């Protein structure tokens, strides 16, 4: 029996950045793909709170029944994800976002908007999905969040892990001081701390 797939990591504090982080070592020449199938995309969507378990099962059945549509959804999701990474990567380094990636994000946001409608709910008037039973809803939701973040004051708080190996994971710095540097202190931050400790020891041994 195959082992269950490992859960995705959620460290970014923002949905669209979490999706960008489904690529490991994004800033290297050999990034690692974690969304290899539509099932992975739906599993991420469930863990991210975009869809619930029953919806995931329904969408998986739809994907099996319509493999071409499923393949197209996976391709669009990955394309959007790469553009999100390139746009926010540029911003964190003080550069203008690449025009082709802004175009992809714009098109994705526009498509998502066509699937939304204002409706009266028990908690007030809210945006709802008119095509709620479409597996594309996972990346539509991400596209909306990415556009919202890109045009908000929080953009200045977006950062990229400072790991020198090319981690590339993005995050929204919600700390009071605004000095977050690592994807996680338990991972890249811990490694950097250990490196500093080793250098300090060497300086004591070799004055």
Query: Where are the strands (E) in 13-123, listed by range?
Result: 23-24, 32-33, 116-121
Assigned CATH topology for domain 15-205 = Jann2411-like fold (1.10.3300)
Q: Is the pLDDT of residue 102 over 60?
A: yes
Give me the pLDDT at residue 195, please: 57
How far is 149 from 138, CA to CA, in rounded Å?
Answer: 17
H runs (alpha helix) in the chain? 15-20, 38-47, 53-65, 67-92, 99-114, 137-150, 188-205
Partners of 172 in the β-ladder = 158
Average pLDDT rounded to a whole number, residues 15-27: 97
The answer to whether 11 touches 20, Cβ cutoff 8 Å, is no
Q: Is the pLDDT of residue 194 over 80?
A: no
Q: What pTM does this model have? A: 0.89
Q: Return mean pLDDT, the chain.
A: 91
Q: Could you give the count of Cα atoms lying within 13 Å of 131 in the half-sphere of its Cβ? A: 14
Q: Is the pLDDT of residue 170 over 90?
A: yes
Q: What does the CA dihedral 74, 75, 81, 86 come to, rounded to 10 degrees? A: 170
At residue 24 the predicted structure's pLDDT band, cuts being 50, 70 and 90, is very high
The answer to whether 63 touches 135, Cβ cutoff 8 Å, is yes
Kindly list the domain boundaries of the chain, sorted by start residue. Answer: 15-205
Give me the pLDDT at residue 204, please: 56
Relative orientation angle of helices 67-92 and 38-47, to the nearest 10 degrees: 60
To which H or E segment does residue 86 belong? helix 67-92
* pLDDT tens column, 116-137: 999 998 999 999 998 778 999 9
* pLDDT tens column, 71-99: 999 999 999 999 999 999 999 999 999 99
Give me the pLDDT at residue 130, please: 86
């Amino acid at each position: 029996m195959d082992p269950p797939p490992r859960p995705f990591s959620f460290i970014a504090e923002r949905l669209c950045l979490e999706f960008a982080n489904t690529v490991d070592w994004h800033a290297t020449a050999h990034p690692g793909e974690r969304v290899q199938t539509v099932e992975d995309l739906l599993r991420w969507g469930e863990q991210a709170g975009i869809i619930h378990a029953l919806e995931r099962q329904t969408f998986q059945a739809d994907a099996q029944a319509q493999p071409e549509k499923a393949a197209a959804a996976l391709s669009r999701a990955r394309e959007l994800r790469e553009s999100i990474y390139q746009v926010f990567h540029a911003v964190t380094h003080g550069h203008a976002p690449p025009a082709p990636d802004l175009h992809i994000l714009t098109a994705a946001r526009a498509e998502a908007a066509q699937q939304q409608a204002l409706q009266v709910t028990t908690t007030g008037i809210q945006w709802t999905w008119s095509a709620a039973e479409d597996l594309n809803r996972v990346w539509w939701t991400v596209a909306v969040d990415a556009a919202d973040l890109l045009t908000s004051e929080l953009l200045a708080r977006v950062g990229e892990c400072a790991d020198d190996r090319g981690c590339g994971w993005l995050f929204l710095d919600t700390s009071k001081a605004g000095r977050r540097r690592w994807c996680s202190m338990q991972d890249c931050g811990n490694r950097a701390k250990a490196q500093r400790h080793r250098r300090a020891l060497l300086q004591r041994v070799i004055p």
